[in-house]
Structure 1
């Protein structure tokens, strides 16, 4: 059975959600952030040099990095579900949006978060640059979700599992006003109607009301 080491209010929610979507059995180990630093507690750092979460154990295997874990579980345990194959018309879109989450969206949110904590002037050129980059990324998501119901196309895939954290739970750390983005808000409402998503959030972060608006 897969063991998921989950840090509360973290990207590791992706792995719980994936297992719920695939109907896989798993053991959940929950960790709480340090109340001062908001980083991983010593128990997680003892398992991985970076104190990484998510982290899974599958037999003798230990694996970190959420994208790597998602791909591993889909191929090893999920029969390829939630990942269109090369013959699928949405294959290239799936690859793009799957990697977009950790290649663009989450890093942009993180850069704005860290620079905002420096209390720079609102017109500081570096802060303005990273905020502008995030605005363009969110606008791209808005445009995409105005044309298709899910990021890869007509079907829900792991690309959605990868991206939703940044649009929801990450806003605990870096606020993002979704009022100007109706397609993203409608998309998050569709996600919130998925039983597997509701189960995953209830199990992984029972103290958190999913930020779907």
Structure 2
């Protein structure tokens, strides 16, 4: 049995969504952010020293990093969600899985952090311009790539969508960027129609009714 240590409002959404999509039995252990600091609770450190989510426990091992977890679960339990390693699409698949946490998440988080600092009166010199340039470059590239595409790779749902979908949904609906990136919005809205996505949102919403 897989145990998912799930933190609300976190990248753990990706893992929960994947488990719902492949209908894999799992145990869900719930954690909530500190209302003041918005950080994960200390209890997560009993599972892994970094105290972050997602973490899964599987076959006696604690495994961190959403990209690694996605790849492992798909390799072991849902190979249909990845191209064959000898397929020409496999390189694209790996590229997008890793793009999410490297190229996309950095400008996304900088945008959020800069906004918080500015609201508290911090004068930003280098970071504001750097973050905006990277933000525009990365998400304009993604918007162009997703024109007339339902999924990232091979015209079907793959692990790349589980990684990228979470980040892009946050871009559109947390940063309110729908008007600036219409093709990303169309892609995200397609994902939200999937039964597994809706089930995951319903689970998340029920957790927030603690």
C-alpha deviation, 1:176, in angstroms: 4.2
* TM-superposition CA deviations, 1:153-210 (whole Å, max 9, x none): 31111111101222224678x62422121111111111011001111121134367xx
Moved more, 91-100 or 31-40: 91-100
Q: In the alignment, what sits opposite 1:72?
A: 72
**Structure 2 equivalent of residue 118 of structure 1:** 117
Q: Secondary structure at the match of 1:36?
A: coil
Q: CA RMSD in A?
A: 2.0
Distance in 1, Cα, partners of 2:31 & 2:170: 16
Query: Corresponding residue for 1:166?
Result: 167
- CA shift for structure 1 position 51: 0.7
1:185 aligns with 2:172: no
Q: 1:135 maps to which residue?
A: 136
Q: Deviations over 1:10-35 (max 9, x none)?
A: 00010011111112111111111000
Contact 2:17 2:196 in 1 (8 A): yes
Deviations 1:131-173 (A, max 9, x none): 110111111111111143211231111111101222224678x
Is the Cα–Cα contact under 8 Å of residues 17 and 162 in structure 2 kept in the other structure? yes
- CA spacing shift, 1:207–1:176, aligned 2, 3 Å: farther
- The count of residues paired between Structure 1 and Structure 2 equals 205
Check the 8 A contact 1:22/1:81 in 2, yes or no. Answer: no
Conserved? CA contact 1:45–1:52, under 8 Å = yes
Q: What SS does structure 2 have at the residue aligned with 1:151?
A: coil
Residue 121 (structure 1) shift: 4.6
Paired residues of 2:30 and 2:207 also in contact (CA < 8 A)? no
Q: Which has the higher helix share?
A: 2
TM-score if structure 2 supplies the norm length? 0.89
- Where structure 2 has 5 or more consecutive residues not aligned to the other structure, the ranges are none
Distance in 2 separating the partners of 1:36 and 1:171: 25
What secondary structure does 1:118 align onto?
A: helix
Q: Which residue of 1 aligns with 2:104?
A: 105
How big is the shift at 1:59? 2.7
Question: For residue 211 of structure 1, what is the aligned residue in structure 2?
Answer: none
1:13 aligned residue: 13
Asked if 2 retains the 8 angstrom alpha-carbon contact of 1:150 and 1:187, the reply is: yes
Shift of 1:90: 1.8
- Does the 8 A contact of 1:82 with 1:158 survive in 2? yes
| Residue 170 to residue 149, structure 1, CA distance change in 2 (3 Å) | closer
User: What residue is the counterpart of 1:200 in the other structure?
Assistant: 200
Cα distance in 2 between the residues matched to 1:171 and 1:205: 19
Is the alpha carbon distance of 1:76 and 1:153 closer, same or farther for their aligned partners in structure 2, counting shifts above 3 Å? Answer: closer
Distance in structure 1 (CA, Å) of the matches to 2:108 and 2:8: 18
